[in-house]
Chains A and B, each alone.
Chain A
Amino acid sequence: AQSVTQLDSHVSVSEGTPVLLRCNYSSSYSPSLFWYVQHPNKGLQLLLKYTSAATLVKGINGFEAEFKKSETSFHLTKPSAHMSDAAEYFCVVNTYRNDMRFGAGTRLTVKP
């Protein structure tokens, strides 16, 4: 069965410093992986997706993620955090039935 594990429930960084949000996946075949962001009282916005075309995926707002099959990881990074990046981030795997399995989420706090 496909699943994802987000390794940190909460990450705190200072504005202007790098962001790293960690995600490991479990899948019996080549997965489709996504990162979504959720701002308070809002729905989910797609940041980026991995679909096997390239292992380094660039998304919106300066985020990117690298798919590492040997480590079964799909970590999300950003070189320099902005105050507006403060939100909840979800790593997601899409099953062959097209129902999405979400991680528990990582809350990102950005300090001024």
Chain B
Amino acid sequence: DAGVTQSPTHLIKTRGQQVTLRCSPKSGHDTVSWYQQALGQGPQFIFQYYEEEERQRGNFPDRFSGHQFPNYSSELNVNALLLGDSALYLCASSLGIGTDSNQPQHFGDGTRLSIL
């Protein structure tokens, strides 16, 4: 049973560039959430996708955007990269949204993004 997989594992970019990170959810899951974890901090919620639409969004600028495909996989895009975007980006998957807040999310190992 494949868990949540993310690619690439590491990425180095320069300021102003654009980046795309990818995530495949755990088998049987249909909801994908993205988190940013800066060094020494807890993960911060970016947004959540369900049925190919952004359903919830945290306090992140429009430079952060995403997409979900019919097979439930997802992409996170960040435009006009800043030094402060350097972080570990985590993808999490779950089944359904909203009413069932009891179920935990399953996390991938993340993509380490470094901005020079």
Q: A90-B42, A98-B48 are in contact. Are A32 and B56 (CB under 8 A)?
A: no
Q: Across the two chains, which residue of chain A brings its CB closest to B10?
A: A41
How many chain B residues touch A (CB < 8 A): the figure is 31
Q: Across the two chains, which residue of chain B brings its CB closest to A42?
A: B109
**CB < 8 Å neighbour of B108 from A34, A41, A43, A96:** A43
**A32 in contact with B101 (CB, 8 Å):** yes
Interface locus among A64-72, A74-82, A100-108: A100-108
Q: How many A-B residue pairs have CB under 8 A?
A: 69
Q: Across the two chains, which residue of chain B brings its CB closest to A104?
A: B42
A96 — which chain B residues lie within 8 A by C-beta? Answer: 98-99, 101
**A102 in contact with B101 (CB, 8 Å):** no
Q: A44-B90, A90-B42, A105-B42 are in contact. Are A100 and B110 (CB under 8 A)?
A: no
Write out, one digit per residue, whether chain A residues 34-46 have a CB within 8 A of any chain B CB (1) or not (0).
1010000111111
B33 — which chain A residues lie within 8 A by C-beta? Answer: 98-100
Other 13 A-B pairs with CB < 8 A, given A98-B48, A98-B101, A99-B45:
A34-B104, A43-B107, A46-B104, A51-B102, A90-B42, A94-B101, A96-B101, A97-B48, A97-B98, A98-B56, A98-B100, A102-B43, A102-B44
- Chain B interface (Cβ < 8 Å from any Cβ of A): 4, 31, 33, 35, 40-45, 48, 55-56, 58, 90, 92, 94, 97-102, 104-110, 112
- Chain A interface (Cβ < 8 Å from any Cβ of B): 32, 34, 36, 41-46, 49, 51, 90, 94-105
